[in-house]
Amino acid sequence: MNFRQVKLKEKLLTENMVEETQLVPSLSENSLKREKRILKQLNLKKLPFKISAGNFCDIYINLIQDLRETFKYQTGNPGMTWCLATIKKFKVFLLIFEANEIGTEIYKENISNRLPEYSYKTVAQIVDEGIVKGFFIKLEPRIQKIKDLKIRNIRPSESLTVEFLNWNIDIISSITKFVTKYK
């Protein structure tokens, strides 16, 4: 039984999904072939530690388990939960967050131009919903002066900024622990 099968068996036993006497089945021939095709395409040389393709399958389960907790922001972090609900919202948020950190202005039309895959109407709806929910606020840029008085600059709220930065710290921490464990 390989590492993955042992982990699966432990999980099934822990969650009372199988009894001790039941065995976790081996991978099918098709699954093994599929796994080999996937492994051949991975850029393992980019990792900060050396690992063979065969060993990678055994350890990435730990990474997934560590990161899974980081991506659970359903309670206590309503801003991040809202931002991560769709890729559209997340892309809009990232542009707003980046402009806030750089100190430049950003507004609906500007966001729409930078996300040509979405219509202005879609971007405007996301921004408006974020403002109504209090995740985005209309506030002057940190550095740049607005020349056009019609522009309503958008920035993330303080609470959303804190949630996002803490979420990134959690991700960095999880990845650092993982790398340290296998380096």
Question: pLDDT tens, 77-108?
Answer: 899 999 999 999 999 999 999 999 988 889 99
Residue 51's pLDDT band, with cuts at 50, 70 and 90, is: confident
- What's the predicted TM-score (pTM) here? 0.73
Instruction: For residue 23, name the pLDDT band (cuts at 50, 70, 90).
Output: very low
* Distance separating alpha carbons of residues 156 and 96, to the nearest angstrom: 7
How many angstroms separate the CA atoms of 44 and 114, rounded?
A: 32
Q: Shortest CA distance to 152 belongs to which of 134, 129, 128, 116?
A: 128
Q: What is the mean pLDDT of the chain?
A: 82
Both structure tokens of 21: 């006497």
pLDDT band at 30 (very low <50, low <70, confident <90, very high): confident
User: What pLDDT does 128 receive?
Assistant: 96
Q: List the structure tokens of 135.
A: 């995740």
Q: What is d(CA 25, CA 110) in angstroms, rounded to the nearest whole number?
A: 54
CATH architecture of the domain with residue range 78-169: Orthogonal Bundle (1.10)
Instruction: With a cut of 60, say whether residue 67 has pLDDT above it.
Output: yes
User: Where do you find CATH 1.10.10.10 in the chain?
Assistant: 78-169
Judge whether residue 138 has pLDDT over 80: yes
